[in-house]
Structure 1
Amino acid sequence: MKEAPRGWSFGGATAPRGLRTPCNLTNEDEASLPEELQRPLDSGAVQSTNEDEARLPEELQRPLDPGAVQCEDEDENNLLEEPQCPLDSDCCGNGCSPCVFDLYERDLAVWRCRREQARLGPALTPSGPSAAALSPDHYTALPLLDVTPVSDDAAVYRFALPTGTALCLRPGQHLVLREHDAAGRPLTRPYTPVSPRDAAGYFDVYIRRYADGAASACVRRWRPGLHVRWRGPFGEFQPRAGDARLVLLAAGTGVAPFVALVRAVLADEADETRLVLLLAVRRLRDVFPRDELAEFARAWNFTYTLFVSGGEEDSARYGEPVRWRRPGSQDVQEVMRQMALKTRYLVCGTRSFEKDMLNYLGAAGVQDDDIFRF
């Protein structure tokens, strides 16, 4: 999630998307891999599988033994399976970092190196497992523990981590999910955990299901006990010295990275950063985490406003800061007038929402260096 001038791609590469050739990886790319990606292969652990493309892999459907959660490392089962190049349509165009094509380039280089190491035999086998709960270098299959509905089309999904481990993500970091569509083609999506950063043995993700979404079709098949593949963490957001205020502009599930950020600031009594959240949703029941936002607002340095575009409802709570419309340029200007403090603007939401917010900020004279797009 890089910062860049408007008009440039926010993907993992420095060149615009149209100029990249992710499917042509050279031997030089393999040689430039980080040292940790060049570790030798345990050839004795290589197991090739033939998955039925019309359904979820059989090993992902076995029931969960709650007494002994075992998190499977995908690399142990599919080291010799060549990664599939994503379709152009798999890229959402939102400037994700890493982009699906960045992940493909990395996976392809790792696959080539490990295939060669497998050919050389077990003499190169390392010893000792990794202590990390997850790795950004490969996917790990984790069991789904529980599903908690939030609304008719959204829920919080809880996944198990190895016993005694926690993600401990920095605010703003996210994970990447990999699934397969009905035709067996792989797809990836980024999600930011909404559980406490030090939650031991599990993490939660907030996911909205769309009627025509390819990933949503996969999520609808999830049941407790199913294993789902994750990798990470990723994310380049870093607090900036001198920022006295953060304005958080979010739409729908785009609030997820800001939940962790607000928790971190409010938990640190020495942190006096002021936080302002503008959250756009279609319905009040889409607000998440609704109770926790109200709790946050008890702190002196956090305020928020909900923008509900689907029409007025009678379900607003007493004192809840609701405006029955989409956020507009006047709302950005209002926030800018509130305090003469060094401010950074963080944006996360749908493509149209981000475009509108960037236009409003630009028209108001906010410099590119003061904007971070997740």
Structure 2
Amino acid sequence: MELPPKPDESDCCNSGCNPCILDVYEEQLRKYKNKTLNTKESTKKNCMSLTTYATFELIKRVEHTADTCLLTFQYVDKENIYCNSCEQLHLIYKPGQHFLLKGHSYYYKDNQFTRAYTPIPVENNDLLSFTIIVRLYEDGNMSRFIKKLELNTLTLWRGPYGDFEISYKFNYILLIAQGTGIAPIFAVIHDILRNEECETFLKLFFCCRTERDILLRNELYEFSSFWNFSYEVFLSNECNVKCKYNEVIHSNRLDVNAIKTYVEDKLNKNVQILVCGSEIFNQDMLEKVLSCDVDRERIFLF
């Protein structure tokens, strides 16, 4: 662990973002001072920092659905312009962790804000780039900021944040996602399925509004070719759905009965529950899962 660089006071946007860059610095400084001498350090250095902003260039933009897009960013070294040949630097993060993007109003540059985005695994990304899935709203500061981002625009990021770590001790993992909450869930699924020694069974319950809102649908369908992964989609606002072969889509919201049916014969078989959605969704799912007699320590909310 390296001595964390001290952020400038101006890096704090004073918008109440969590975690605040100044608070993160103090926490990282404390960890640095308390680290033991026998800690093994990686020979690679992370190109992104928890306490200072790193520069990434928008290099690719792909429309995904009517209101979502996939954005790919490449690390830029301010001194060497691009750092693809820099062997010491990697973009290092764990599946499910997120980064914070710093945005600003195009009318008032002093009006700054941040928002969290979770990188998703994408083929052909190099060790210094990442891809996120973004839902663009009609209103919203960050949506307006991202809509105006053009290719080759430089952006500011910090991270990674999030304390989730994949555990391979569970026989079963139920993953429950809502909307763009699929991002960390997708990253976790991808990592586990690529581990040939893992024998954990994965089940995804994906909650969306309509068929058009099923994010990463083709990728999830490809995942279903693995022997230990399956998924079901729950649509809250659509009845007529065209399913792919062997794809399970329900024209109703996810209810406690579906969760109970899945976990009731697995409570004594090391089952874990991962949930990611809005705060209201997470709380609702937590209550539903707890009502199925699942221990709280086996439930993780992103």
The TM-score range, normalised by the shorter chain, is 0.7 to 0.9
The one of 188, 195, 209 equivalent to 2:114 is 188
| Pair member with larger Rg | 1
Number of the residue aligned with 2:207: 280
Number of the residue aligned with 1:361: 289
Which segments of 5 or more consecutive residues in structure 2 lack a partner in the other structure?
29-43, 76-82
Matching of residue 103 in structure 1 with residue 12 in structure 2: no
Say if 1:35 and 1:141 are closer, same or farther in 2 by CA, change over 3 A: closer
**Residue 138 (structure 1) shift:** 0.9
**Residue 172 (structure 1) shift:** 1.6
Distance 1:275 1:82 in 2: 40
The one of 294, 308, 329 equivalent to 2:235 is 308
**1:192-239 Cα shifts (integer Å, max 9, x gaps):** 111249931421000101122221111111111111111111121123
Say if 1:82 and 1:299 are closer, same or farther in 2 by CA, change over 3 A: closer
- Give percent identity, aligned residues only: 27
Residues 166 and 198 in structure 1, CA contact (< 8 A), matched pair in contact too: no
Distance 1:38 1:352 in 2: 36
Number of the residue aligned with 2:160: 233
Q: Which protein has the bigger strand share?
A: 2
Number of the residue aligned with 1:156: 70
Distance 2:301 2:262 in 1: 18
Query: Structure 1 residues 202-211 or 331-340, which shifts more?
Result: 331-340
Normalising by structure 1, we get a TM-score of 0.67
Query: Structure 1 residues 236-245 or 217-226, which shifts more?
Result: 236-245
Say if 1:198 and 1:145 are closer, same or farther in 2 by CA, change over 3 A: closer
The one of 1, 5, 12 equivalent to 1:83 is 12
Say if 1:208 and 1:351 are closer, same or farther in 2 by CA, change over 3 A: same
Please list every run of at least 4 consecutive aligned residues from structure 1 whose deviation after the TM superposition is greater than 4 angstroms.
Answer: 107-110
Number of the residue aligned with 2:182: 255
Matching of residue 326 in structure 1 with residue 253 in structure 2: yes
**1:152-231, aligned counterparts within 5 Å?**
152-161=66-75, 162-164=83-85, 166-181=90-105, 182-183=107-108, 184-196=110-122, 199-200=125-126, 201-231=128-158
Which segments of 5 or more consecutive residues in structure 1 lack a partner in the other structure?
1-33, 40-74, 92-98, 111-129
Distance 1:239 1:84 in 2: 32
**Residue 364 (structure 1) shift:** 1.4
**Residue 187 (structure 1) shift:** 1.2
Number of the residue aligned with 1:36: 3
Distance 1:108 1:215 in 2: 27
Q: Which protein has the bigger helix share?
A: 1
Say if 1:38 and 1:194 are closer, same or farther in 2 by CA, change over 3 A: closer
The one of 341, 350, 357 equivalent to 2:278 is 350
